[in-house]
A and B are shown apart, each in its own frame.
Chain A
Amino acid sequence: MTATTQTLTNISGWGNYPTQDAQVITPLSLSAYQTQLAQHPSIIARGMGRSYGDSANAPIVLQTTYCDHFIAFDKATGLLTVEAGVLLRDILKITVKQGWFLPVTPGTSFVTVGGAIASDVHGKNHHIAGTFGQHVVSITMLLGTGEVVTTSPTELPDLFHATCGGMGLTGVILSATIQLIPIQSAFIAQKTIKADCIEAACEAFETNSSGTYSVAWIDCLATGKHLGRSVLMLGEHAESGRLDLTVKDPITVPIHTPAALLNSMTMRAFNNAYWVKASGDKTQTVPLLPYFYPLDAIGGWNKLYGKAGFLQYQFVLPKVDGVANMRNILTQIAQSGQGSFLAVLKQFGQANQNLLSFPIEGYTLALDFKMSQSTIDLLHRLDDMVAGMGGRVYLTKDAVMLEVSFKTMYSNWEQFEAVRQKYGAIEKFASAQSKRLGLA
């Protein structure tokens, strides 16, 4: 047996919107991807489906579940080679005890290496370390032509810079080599700072920009003087403490809960409680997993939004006028009354060379919205504002952006299409998202 095919399955991203009936094919070995690709006119690669919208949705998906093998790890240099289906969580289980950590990690460990590269994900250390792709030494991938090639910043660099952040549209990532970073301890020294408005929060990021990790929880429901009040969490790898990782399986939310549970009253209560509970200027030592992945403790928390699902919206605004522009957008959101349970504010460092990579230097905000037509309308209004401010929306979170907004925000899109053309990706690799955004 080389691959398995499920009967038609209803798939979706983490936001449970939109959904799509798909044939899910799970190749059992890397060579089986070639066989499968030859048999289908168009596919998209899929990892854990932790992208929020429709970037891993298509009528036929090649899911990397069973290609989750470690290929090599050099514990002297921290160079790790894995198949694309390996989860960041599994990497940590093996490397942390040997003193190595991920150079960049998103807010959940339940993502695949293939997904992390395709979305060129960022972490709380973007201002220092850049994106995941900037630590990828090389990628082995399957092209639309059926050829398997190795690409790196020096080998087929155009393909490399289109693939990191390329949302699966250049080919299927089969395996990758990543440079890990050394750590002395499986703990993080965390410092909490309270900032009582957006200006104070951005200033606090600035003051602490030499620190390794920083992120803020922002209360989107606060208005007026307190608009954008935040709790900043700064972190440094501790220098002492054990190197072992305590990994607990998540407790799971078994079923879709009625979305009414998450109404604005409960959200306001939650945000208030969070604000009050956070004590300013306190330093504590916390283990790696709860520090980086607080939400991973609850499996399937996305079901809390009910069957209709939810939309996550993450945008970045350029640093110039960034604070004033952020205030404008926060005011829009606060006025809409459709605030978010989880809003995360972060400062980004410089952009990289990857054609569709999201981060640019400035401030980024991520929020959740319960799925509804009025949310879609609101997001379209926000898209216009963000585009007008020279900012952009994160493709791995997007489910509703219009083609025109995408093409304004990601001005490299034509170059991206040219690289796809050159490597035989046009039409062969397509997702519901790429079709919506007008990519061939």
Chain B
Amino acid sequence: MKKILIIGATSAIAEHCARIWAGRGDALYLVARNEERLKTIAADLKVRGAAETDTYWTDLNYMDHHAALLDAAEAAMGGIDTVLIAHGTLSNQNACEECVEETLAEIKTNALSTISLLTLIANRFESKESGTIAVISSVAGDRGRASNYVYGSAKAMITAFTSGMRQRLHKSNVTVITIKPGFIDTPMTAAFKKGLLWAKPTKVADKIVRAIDAKKNEVYVPAFWWAVMVIIKTVPVAVFKKLML
């Protein structure tokens, strides 16, 4: 039985990961800001077989709660083996361009709150010399694009931060996994027209759980996004700036 902390547990992707873990009989500690949904998901995971499901209700932008939530999770499960950080918001790029506060709020949700959590978790795992930390970044963090560079740059920070943390914690036997989903059909992307490039959250969850089992470093989900991003990253800046992406 693993002891798994899920931050942003109401995320569709995180919820499907949790269902797989529940089916395996793992203990789950769920953190999210919508209390009704948090309770519903906890009860559901229990029926699906989770050894236990405890919940912590907070807005993750209250960073001064982070240490307390980690303490509470450790106390409830008797330690933490694995953390999945999944919360995020798809920024409204136009609104961000119009408003500094909006831009900073998006950076806070999508980067700073995660950085705060990672800093605390890294130290705890480093001292016990074990643990797996999986963080959902995005392919959007691989190269800033006009259509969503606020969200993209926040995710770029997560990607760079976890890359460095992975090096640092390697010698302490701690695994750090950067997950880069492509287009996933979840509430976050409800407003988009779906096509062939889109994947279901169940598929993505399956890949994430397997990446955690296999202690991978960095995964693109679905895998073809690796090739797509190689191409996008190879386009020379002089050309890239003229593209509408």
- A: residues with CB less than 8 A from B are 1, 4-7, 26, 28-31, 66, 69-73, 83, 94
Residues A5 and B44 in contact, CB atoms below 8 Å apart: no
Q: Enumerate the 9 nearest inter-chain pairs by beta-carbon distance, A residue then B residue, closest first.
A: A4-B190, A70-B47, A69-B44, A4-B187, A70-B44, A73-B47, A29-B36, A29-B37, A69-B40
Nearest B-chain residue to A81, judged by Cβ: B47
Within B189-218, the residues touching A (CB, 8 Å) are 190-193
The residue from A6, A30, A69, A72 contacting B191, defined by CB atoms under 8 A apart = A6
Query: B49: which A residues are within 8 A, CB to CB?
Result: 94
Most buried by A among B43, B47, B49: B47
Min CB–CB distance B36 → chain A (angstroms): 5
The residue from B48, B187, B193 contacting A70, defined by CB atoms under 8 A apart = B48
Residues A29 and B40 in contact, CB atoms below 8 Å apart: yes
Residues A28 and B41 in contact, CB atoms below 8 Å apart: no
Query: A6: which B residues are within 8 A, CB to CB?
Result: 190-191
The residue from B41, B187, B193 contacting A69, defined by CB atoms under 8 A apart = B41
The residue from A5, A31, A69, A94 contacting B190, defined by CB atoms under 8 A apart = A5
Residues B36 and A72 in contact, CB atoms below 8 Å apart: no
Query: B10: which A residues are within 8 A, CB to CB?
Result: 28
CA distance A14 to B173 in the complex (A): 51
Min CB–CB distance B109 → chain A (angstroms): 13
Query: B36: which A residues are within 8 A, CB to CB?
Result: 29-31
CA distance A5 to B188 in the complex (A): 10
CA distance A1 to B186 in the complex (A): 12
- B: residues with CB less than 8 A from A are 10, 12, 34, 36-37, 40-41, 43-44, 47-49, 187, 190-193
Nearest A-chain residue to B10, judged by Cβ: A28
User: What are 30 A-B interface contacts by the 8 Å CB criterion?
Assistant: A1-B34, A1-B187, A4-B187, A4-B190, A4-B191, A6-B190, A7-B191, A7-B193, A26-B187, A26-B190, A28-B34, A28-B187, A29-B34, A29-B36, A29-B37, A30-B36, A30-B40, A31-B36, A66-B187, A69-B41, A69-B43, A69-B44, A70-B44, A70-B47, A70-B48, A71-B44, A73-B47, A83-B40, A94-B47, A94-B49
Min CB–CB distance B212 → chain A (angstroms): 21
Nearest A-chain residue to B196, judged by Cβ: A254
Number of CB contacts from chain A to chain B under 8 A: 46
Residues B47 and A72 in contact, CB atoms below 8 Å apart: yes
Known pairs A6-B191, A30-B36, A72-B47. 16 more at Cβ < 8 A? A4-B191, A5-B191, A7-B191, A7-B192, A26-B190, A28-B34, A29-B37, A29-B40, A69-B40, A69-B43, A71-B40, A71-B43, A71-B44, A71-B47, A72-B43, A94-B47
Query: A28: which B residues are within 8 A, CB to CB?
Result: 10, 34, 37, 187
CA distance A71 to B41 in the complex (A): 9
Min CB–CB distance A51 → chain B (angstroms): 22
Nearest A-chain residue to B40, judged by Cβ: A69
Nearest A-chain residue to B89, judged by Cβ: A1
Nearest B-chain residue to A255, judged by Cβ: B196
Query: B192: which A residues are within 8 A, CB to CB?
Result: 7
Min CB–CB distance B191 → chain A (angstroms): 6
Query: A71: which B residues are within 8 A, CB to CB?
Result: 40, 43-44, 47
Nearest B-chain residue to A71, judged by Cβ: B43
Min CB–CB distance A245 → chain B (angstroms): 12
Residues A94 and B187 in contact, CB atoms below 8 Å apart: no
Min CB–CB distance A8 → chain B (angstroms): 9
Nearest B-chain residue to A68, judged by Cβ: B44
Nearest A-chain residue to B190, judged by Cβ: A4
Most buried by A among B10, B36, B49, B190: B190
CA distance A30 to B41 in the complex (A): 12
Min CB–CB distance A300 → chain B (angstroms): 13
Query: A83: which B residues are within 8 A, CB to CB?
Result: 40
CA distance A73 to B46 in the complex (A): 10
CA distance A428 to B28 in the complex (A): 41
Min CB–CB distance A216 → chain B (angstroms): 35
Residues A66 and B12 in contact, CB atoms below 8 Å apart: yes
Query: A72: which B residues are within 8 A, CB to CB?
Result: 43, 47
CA distance A70 to B43 in the complex (A): 7
Query: A4: which B residues are within 8 A, CB to CB?
Result: 187, 190-191
Query: B41: which A residues are within 8 A, CB to CB?
Result: 69
Query: A94: which B residues are within 8 A, CB to CB?
Result: 47-49
CA distance A83 to B187 in the complex (A): 18
Query: B43: which A residues are within 8 A, CB to CB?
Result: 69-72
CA distance A26 to B187 in the complex (A): 8
Min CB–CB distance B125 → chain A (angstroms): 31
Most buried by A among B34, B37, B191, B192: B37
Most buried by A among B41, B48, B49: B48
CA distance A7 to B189 in the complex (A): 11
Query: B47: which A residues are within 8 A, CB to CB?
Result: 70-73, 94
Nearest B-chain residue to A7, judged by Cβ: B191
Nearest A-chain residue to B37, judged by Cβ: A29
Nearest A-chain residue to B47, judged by Cβ: A70
Query: B34: which A residues are within 8 A, CB to CB?
Result: 1, 28-29
Query: A30: which B residues are within 8 A, CB to CB?
Result: 36, 40
Query: A31: which B residues are within 8 A, CB to CB?
Result: 36
